[in-house]
Structure 1
């Protein structure tokens, strides 16, 4: 499994090279094989006898953080969606994206996102899951802002990043609390300690923190506002991130942790209410939109709310319906996003007010859209998979405990939201493909898309039809395992299209279709309601206002201390270090002074220290550049003598070399050094200087004494003494530490110096070229 997760990242290293030959071969052709092979690898696990698989690769075992990967029915469902639809999206992008685009960057971001999503759904370690979770936020930010020359793209990318990262940090807090309570970082290990978690005093806090991560990522109300703005991304990105993968990460998170929280009443209340409200608001707002991708964005919000609500119900029927609809939604919504891209690509616009009558010009696209929109609407036809999961959703709302008001209200909310779903689905199809055409007003003369661009949506629509005709084909060997991973009580039941005229769920579907047709036909007469609800109210305005206030206040605070004065910066930095350090030492009883086990002090050491002190004080009163260089050298050489006296010849030699080079450089630049002048400073400024200087010196003295006087844990020097010869093969402990124990540190220090040297050479050459001109 680990190879499947990191394969996209490995290929991403070579994409910039492959993109150089994009004029001959589109970069997407090479990228296509990675998700396709991953899909073929995992599809072999589908079967009635499938059993969970676990793999572990050590990462930070001392902290309990390892690459623990766990493949069960739930993660298999998401892995196949990520890889399968990922392959189709790459295939679609080969024909959608021009070779003049920055294809190297696009596919690097896409592969990064693919690896991150695979890591999220396969990780059993909560901290590894969080790492991949935030990588999805970063990569989606890059993908949404791919056309960074557009202001709206940058705005949408920033909004998605801020909202989802906020949720991710909240989720991390919940993970930390869970780890503290259970003593394990394994999700499966936590599931095995449900009683411990449910009895914790922090249960509600943990639930809220984790749900914030899920709700922000899956665009649940009121965090849904980032998804419509993310539609500024290229259509392949929308089809991948915002229909099948990223927005379902929150769904996955709730499903994965359902075995822990499903027995908690507040889980049912919060998740069900937020899901139903999101479903209702998303479907209601979709009818208002005029941009095709905006319609699909709010449609996605609504559908995600529906799935979230079913997970909140937590019953066997609801959980199975949720798993079924996750699959169905990916097929019809992914195809509709691609169809929208085709319409935009071939007509030059996504504005539904400018479109119409395209069935004549784009019959194949119209046929695909017919199946996709009617499946999304839940039209009761046996070859549309969306109807099956929508009816199962209705059945799950009727199967709840009717003893409380919320349970009694849920079926009505479900029907109302589904009515608007029907309306926006019909609005999309008939508004684009029927009625009078406006060919003369379109930026491009419409025509059918190239067949290559149609392949991916055709495959997805075939999935819609095949699942509709043979729903049990994916039931027992696939969906059943996914549902059991969320709720072990789910029992196998065959999926039927027809349950009789008296079936309550079928009656609810008929109500949706009947009322939906009436509202669709009279849409122009009642859409004025949007001037009342939401009217001028908008969560986007709240977001923009908060962001503006944060910018204003942070700029005001920053301007207080960012004055351009190096002296002010040093005062603030050193003052903060003094306050924090001394406070910490006081709180932890670190101000311990002990003179036990100290070396004998002779007249030699005292003499050297007196010389150093005299030299340091002399720097304050010296007015000659030459004298200042010499006095500074006295201090440096004095320190070298102390190192030599205390038997640290390597450090002494290093100090001597550094001091000698420093003095030599000063003398080489002596002619260009500015003349020292007495600075006129106020008494207050001098007082601050004295306080900072004395305070910082006192702090370092106290730290040195405290470090010698306290023994909270065994000193690391014992380890170096014991292992320097056996591990490093050297008698000189200092050399072994630098070369072996801290080999990487030393290597990077040398690397930094090398980079700095290259930069200096570049600056010198740049200056020389300018002077030559």
Structure 2
């Protein structure tokens, strides 16, 4: 199981080389991995369908009780099969769709990394590992959305999605930590099996934080705006992220937590309200849009809202409807997004108003698009119809708000039919419209994915038992928290859900007839968008930038003196006030153990510091600063910190040498500050020194516990296998701290290397280029000097 998840990251490291070796077939070559993983996960289907839960655990940070633990039940297996199954077609599709792109190898790195991250999210049983994979999906999706990074629009939309989901991720991190503390474990399976989560005092704040994380990831209103803007990504990315993966991560989290945190009034009201609002918002905006990918993106927002609403209801029928609708949506939306890519790739069509009559030149694509669109509309005998019937049954039997939710669902279905009709009819039928490219059906690699997904929607509709096979029942049981019986059927007889479905179908087709008039009648939305959540986001970002600009000019103005005055003044006020509030200060003023040579060194330090301040020569000031540093090194040696003393000597030696080397470049010594400023600085310096002295004396006098040094002395050998205690502390006892410092140094080194060596055209990169550039600059300077001389001579002649 661990290798199944990590294999995606491992293959991502070698993806560029695979691409170079296999050329235009690299997508198929890399797609072998998700195909293998699909077969691996499918082998677990018999056990999971019987109600078994498969658990795998590997030590990660044993000292912190953090494990890479994985749980495979119906819900996680359903997601894993969708991620790997659709991922197989996306890799093949993306390899052919972007075969002429110069950065196709980089695309495969990000896509495979995203696939592994999503698998980690849906399979993780540990809260910490779940959050790590969650944030990896954020990072990799940022890379994918901004894949065409040379375009400003792609960068802007990628940053927007990153900002929204990262802010939600911070809330989620806090909520998961609270959940682990409340549940008494960081293993999800143990937490959800515990009782009393909803009665805990931290339930409400914990739930709010968790919902923020899920809502931002799954684009719930008012965070829905980032998802359509993510259409700046290449179409294969949109097809993968918005069909069954990234945007469904929040839905997965809500479904996973539903048995433990659901069932309360706040859960029902919050998820039902925001889910219904997102459903209506998404489909209304989709009904007005004309861009192919934008329509699909808004309809995805609608589907995410529908799933959130169903998870909020918390009933058995709602759980059944949620998993069925989830599968149906993944099939038809993945197919439609790939069809949108085919329209752009083969005909140059990005807007529905640019196309018409393509059924003659693209007959195969037309069949696929119509099948997927019929499933979107919920037309019998497609699997989308089965999902829609269960959806209507769930809202009709809801314990509360059933009337309002039913009305909202019917209205949404009417607009869904309108959108599906636009997808199924507008580009393919009617009079032919001249397109930017000569339209034709694409080759096998581009068509096989949407064809299979759309055909599965038809097959599962005609034979719903094939879609079940125990998987959907097990997934619904994981959502509901109890075993349930699932019976999927294409025909449930003539009942109220069927009547509502037929009504929405008729009204949706009627709206399609007047689609242009509908868009004109809803033009008020263009004015409403000026005060919408995206505008608020942009203003917040602008305000943040303006505030950063102000505080940079005010606080970070480039004057070291101001930095020191601000920092030291703040410390004096805060720490000094805290010391004054202490009733009795115990100062450790014992001087019995001070030896003569230590007093001598201290006097040298004081004398060197005063001399450095008072002398009027740079060289003398540098010499005094060096004496001060070497005196401190002596103190380290006196108190047995030989390693630190050696380090201090090395640093001081290098510093003095560097200062001496740059002295000749400095201007002569001048008194630029006034007497008042110098007095102010002296007062602040004196107060700082006095405060630090008092603070050290108070701390040493108030020590009640034994120092930790004895522990290090005793255990550096047995635990760290070293006699050098300082080195053992850095390498073993403070390994994470040292690792962080090394990581920062590595980043700096990479940045310096990039600035020096990765220069593109603007600077010379070879010795001959450098010589040529130097000669060119010298010639330009000589020419400019000659021009100035000639001009001066001319001016002098005119004056004469």
Residue 534 of structure 2, aligned match among 512, 529, 540? 540
- Structure 2 distance, partners of 1:545, 1:146, is 25
Residue 213 of structure 1, CA deviation = 1.3
- Structure 2 distance, partners of 1:767, 1:614, is 52
Structure 1 pair 318/734, CA: closer, same or farther in 2 (3 Å)? closer
Q: Which moved more, 1:282-291 or 1:95-104?
A: 95-104
Structure 1 pair 328/709, CA: closer, same or farther in 2 (3 Å)? farther
- Structure 2 distance, partners of 1:427, 1:588, is 75
Q: How do 1:27-426 residues align onto structure 2 when only pairs under 5 Å count?
A: 27-47=26-46, 48-195=49-196, 197-381=197-381, 384-401=382-399, 404=400, 406-426=401-421
Render the CA deviation track for 1:226-248: whole Å, top value 9, x for unaligned.
11111111000000001211110
For the 8 Å contact 1:590–1:706, the answer to whether it is kept is: no
Residue 379 of structure 1, CA deviation = 0.9
Structure 1 pair 530/668, CA: closer, same or farther in 2 (3 Å)? closer
Structure 1 pair 588/322, CA: closer, same or farther in 2 (3 Å)? farther
Residue 119 of structure 1, CA deviation = 1.4
Where in structure 1 are there 5+ consecutive unaligned residues? Answer: none
Structure 1 pair 712/499, CA: closer, same or farther in 2 (3 Å)? farther
Residue 757 of structure 1, CA deviation = 13
Render the CA deviation track for 1:34-61: whole Å, top value 9, x for unaligned.
2222212111111233511222223334
Please tell me the root mean square deviation across aligned C-alpha atoms, in Å. 3.1
Structure 1 pair 589/454, CA: closer, same or farther in 2 (3 Å)? farther
- Structure 2 distance, partners of 1:549, 1:511, is 48
Structure 1 pair 30/632, CA: closer, same or farther in 2 (3 Å)? same
Do residues 622 (structure 1) and 620 (structure 2) align?
A: no
What stretches of structure 1 move > 6 A for 4+ residues in a row?
583-591, 742-751, 756-763, 765-768
- Structure 1 distance, partners of 2:476, 2:576, is 56
Q: Which moved more, 1:62-71 or 1:619-628?
A: 62-71
- Structure 2 distance, partners of 1:750, 1:478, is 44
Q: How do 1:340-739 residues align onto structure 2 when only pairs under 5 Å count?
A: 340-381=340-381, 384-401=382-399, 404=400, 406-439=401-434, 442-501=435-494, 503-533=495-525, 535-537=527-529, 538-576=532-570, 593-594=587-588, 600-667=593-660, 671-672=664-665, 674-681=667-674, 683=676, 685-711=677-703, 715-734=707-726, 736-737=728-729
Relative to the length of structure 2, the TM-score reads 0.88
Residue 762 of structure 1, CA deviation = 6.3
Structure 1 pair 59/590, CA: closer, same or farther in 2 (3 Å)? farther
Residue 716 of structure 1, CA deviation = 3.0
For the 8 Å contact 2:218–2:249, the answer to whether it is kept is: yes
For the 8 Å contact 1:69–1:124, the answer to whether it is kept is: yes
- Structure 2 distance, partners of 1:691, 1:123, is 58
Q: Which moved more, 1:712-721 or 1:37-46?
A: 712-721
Q: Which moved more, 1:102-111 or 1:653-662?
A: 653-662
Aligned to 2:783: none
- Structure 2 distance, partners of 1:151, 1:678, is 49
- Structure 1 distance, partners of 2:110, 2:543, is 32
Residue 309 of structure 1, CA deviation = 1.1
- Structure 2 distance, partners of 1:750, 1:287, is 49
Residue 664 of structure 1, CA deviation = 4.5
- Structure 2 distance, partners of 1:580, 1:27, is 62
Render the CA deviation track for 1:99-118: whole Å, top value 9, x for unaligned.
33311221111122112111
- Structure 2 distance, partners of 1:289, 1:675, is 69
Residue 563 of structure 1, CA deviation = 1.5
Q: Which moved more, 1:582-591 or 1:122-131?
A: 582-591
For the 8 Å contact 1:64–1:184, the answer to whether it is kept is: no
Residue 200 of structure 1, CA deviation = 2.2
Render the CA deviation track for 1:502-556: whole Å, top value 9, x for unaligned.
x111111111112222222233334333123564344333332333233223322
Structure 1 pair 718/416, CA: closer, same or farther in 2 (3 Å)? same
- Structure 2 distance, partners of 1:594, 1:190, is 50
Residue 156 of structure 1, CA deviation = 1.6
Equivalent pairs, count: 760
For the 8 Å contact 2:460–2:466, the answer to whether it is kept is: yes
Residue 468 of structure 1, CA deviation = 1.2
Residue 209 of structure 1, CA deviation = 1.7
Q: Which moved more, 1:564-573 or 1:2-11?
A: 564-573
- Structure 1 distance, partners of 2:189, 2:743, is 44
